[in-house]
């Protein structure tokens, strides 16, 4: 059985500032593009048979620069819709909601383009992704290129956990992680691997 190769897109101005970036299509920074290029040697270590990418430009550009070749856009890989919290940092939200914690408190409705989602709704989206890739994994590795929170929720669901348990899996921009199986049970086989690790020679 193949593995899921998951890439969080490279840095954007909003991710660098800690702003909640759901459906706003913010491009990669120059640093983000370098992160995507630098992850390519790690990607090349995996023979990928199919690539699914969030429709966001920052994810598509990451896939291209990481050398993933032909990919399919999958709307279920969009980032969590943060509703009225779109574009705000956690510190800004806490000015009105003391102690705010997204994984516990969720979102509030925004405008028509940002109605907001619950973590359970995001969980249903990633369940659909996992259902679609399951038969593909019987043939080899599948790459998913998307966003921090949606990939954390996808990882929780891969492991059979509730969607909100995605809080346990911190995930940086421009990193590669892998999800696989051990004795037929789902496991994390690597996590949050940065590009620089691709330059470190293996032991021995």
Which amino acids are annotated catalytic? 9, 79
- Between vectors from CA 138 to CA 134 and to CA 143, what angle results, nearest 5°? 65
Provide CB contacts within 8 A for 50, sequence distance 6+. Answer: 72, 133, 136, 142, 143
With beta carbons less than 8 A apart as the criterion, state whether 158 and 181 touch: no
N-to-C CA span, the chain: 28
Cα–Cα nearest to 7, from 47, 49, 54: 54
Cα–Cα nearest to 175, from 142, 156, 158, 152: 152
Interatomic CA distance for residues 10 and 62, integer angstroms: 6
User: Using the 8-state DSSP alphabet, how is residue 10 labeled?
Assistant: -
With beta carbons less than 8 A apart as the criterion, state whether 71 and 60 touch: yes
Interatomic CA distance for residues 45 and 165, integer angstroms: 29
With beta carbons less than 8 A apart as the criterion, state whether 139 and 2 touch: yes
């Amino acid at each position: 059985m193949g593995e899921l190769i998951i890439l969080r897109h490279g840095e954007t101005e909003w991710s660098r500032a800690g702003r909640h970036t759901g459906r706003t299509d913010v491009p990669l920074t120059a640093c983000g593009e370098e992160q995507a290029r630098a992850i390519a040697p790690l990607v090349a270590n995996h023979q990928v048979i199919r690539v699914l990418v969030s429709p966001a430009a920052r994810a598509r550009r990451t896939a291209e620069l990481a050398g993933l070749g032909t990919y399919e856009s999958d709307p279920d890989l969009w980032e969590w819709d943060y509703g009225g919290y779109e574009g705000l940092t956690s510190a800004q939200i806490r000015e009105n909601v003391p102690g705010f914690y997204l994984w516990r408190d969720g979102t509030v409705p925004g405008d028509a383009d940002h109605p907001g989602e619950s973590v359970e709704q995001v969980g249903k989206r990633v369940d659909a992704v996992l259902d679609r890739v399951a038969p593909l994994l019987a043939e080899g590795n599948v790459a998913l290129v998307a966003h921090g929170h949606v990939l954390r929720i996808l990882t929780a669901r891969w492991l059979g956990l509730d969607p909100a348990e995605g809080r346990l899996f911190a995930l940086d921009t421009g990193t590669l992680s892998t999800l696989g199986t051990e004795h037929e049970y789902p496991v994390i086989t690597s996590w949050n691997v940065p590009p620089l690790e691709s330059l470190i020679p293996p032991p021995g």
